[in-house]
């Protein structure tokens, strides 16, 4: 009888410890995603300011401005991480195009607000890149934890599912936007 009680107690303790480990990693992943989300919102504000600054130059290619504004709007309303990552990849590509085209307009490049926004975007891109790496590392740890024995049994008992990575698909898009030329 005593052995049965000890075995049941050890089983319950194991379940509690594993459950708490899973919850802790899930909370870390949620916090890491919140950090990314905050940075993305700052980026969207900077993009909006950049578009407004560039709009003042009537000769500037309107298609790029419309494209970046549209992608920004879509990204702000997207909740699914994998789709958001794809949209963010598109925004990064459009930003690169915008800054490449801006090279042809010396008066735009001399605009202090434009230069300030360029610097801010470089900083935010670096921060997003670091936050993405941290988030993906936490998600990797979480997904590994819920897929190995015996944690996978407990994870299934409590309905834990794998989390999505925030990945950039295109290898060139993994590079931080270089807007300081």
Q: What is the pLDDT of residues 20-60, one digit of tens each?
A: 999 999 999 999 999 999 999 999 999 888 888 887 765 66
**What is the average pLDDT value for the chain, to the nearest integer?**
86
User: Average pLDDT in the 15-23 region?
Assistant: 95
**In this structure, is residue 180 part of a structural domain?**
no
Range scoring the smallest mean pLDDT among 24-28, 69-73, 103-107, 132-136? 103-107
Q: How far apart are CA 125 and CA 103, in angstroms?
A: 20
Q: Could you tell me if residue 17 is inside a domain?
A: no
What is the predicted pLDDT for the residue at 66? 82
49, part of any domain: yes
Say if residue 94's pLDDT is above 50. Answer: yes
Of 10-14, 94-98, 132-136, least confident by mean pLDDT is 94-98
Which residue is it, tokens 């690169």?
96
Q: Can you tell me whether residue 176 is helix, strand or coil?
A: coil
Whether residue 2 is contained in a domain is answered as no
Q: What is the 3-state secondary structure (H, E, C) of 70-103?
A: HHHHHHHCCCCHHHHHHHHHHHHHHHHHHHHHHC
In a domain, residue 174? The reply is no
Q: Report the number of distinct structural domains present in the chain.
A: 1
pLDDT in tens, 137-162: 999 999 999 999 989 999 999 999 99
What's the CATH code of the domain at 126?
1.20.1440.20
Does 8 reside within a domain? Answer: no
Token pair of 102, please? 């801006």
For residue 175, pLDDT over 80 is answered with no
Q: Residue 6 has what pLDDT?
A: 93
pLDDT digit string, tens, across residues 105-124: 777 777 888 889 888 998 99
Amino acid 110: pLDDT: 79
Determine the structural domain holding residue 44 and report its residue range.
22-164
Q: Are the C-beta atoms of residues 170 and 91 closer than 8 Å to each other?
A: no
Determine, yes or no, domain membership for 79.
yes
Question: Does some domain include residue 58?
Answer: yes
């Amino acid at each position: 009888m005593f052995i049965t009680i000890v075995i049941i107690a050890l089983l319950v303790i194991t379940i509690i410890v594993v459950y708490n480990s899973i919850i802790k990693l899930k909370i870390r992943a949620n916090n890491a995603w919140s950090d990314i989300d905050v940075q993305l919102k700052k980026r969207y504000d900077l993009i909006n300011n950049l578009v407004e600054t560039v709009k003042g130059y009537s000769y500037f290619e309107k298609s790029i401005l419309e494209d970046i504004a549209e992608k920004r709007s879509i990204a702000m309303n997207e909740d699914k991480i994998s789709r958001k990552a794809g949209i963010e990849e598109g925004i990064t590509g459009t930003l690169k195009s915008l800054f490449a085209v801006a090279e042809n307009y010396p008066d735009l490049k001399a605009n202090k607000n434009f230069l300030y926004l360029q610097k801010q975007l470089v900083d935010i891109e670096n921060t997003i890149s670091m936050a993405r790496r941290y988030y993906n590392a936490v998600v990797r740890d979480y997904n590994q934890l819920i897929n190995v024995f015996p944690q996978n049994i407990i994870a299934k008992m409590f309905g834990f599912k794998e989390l999505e990575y925030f990945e950039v698909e295109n290898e060139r898009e993994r590079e931080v936007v270089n807007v300081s030329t």
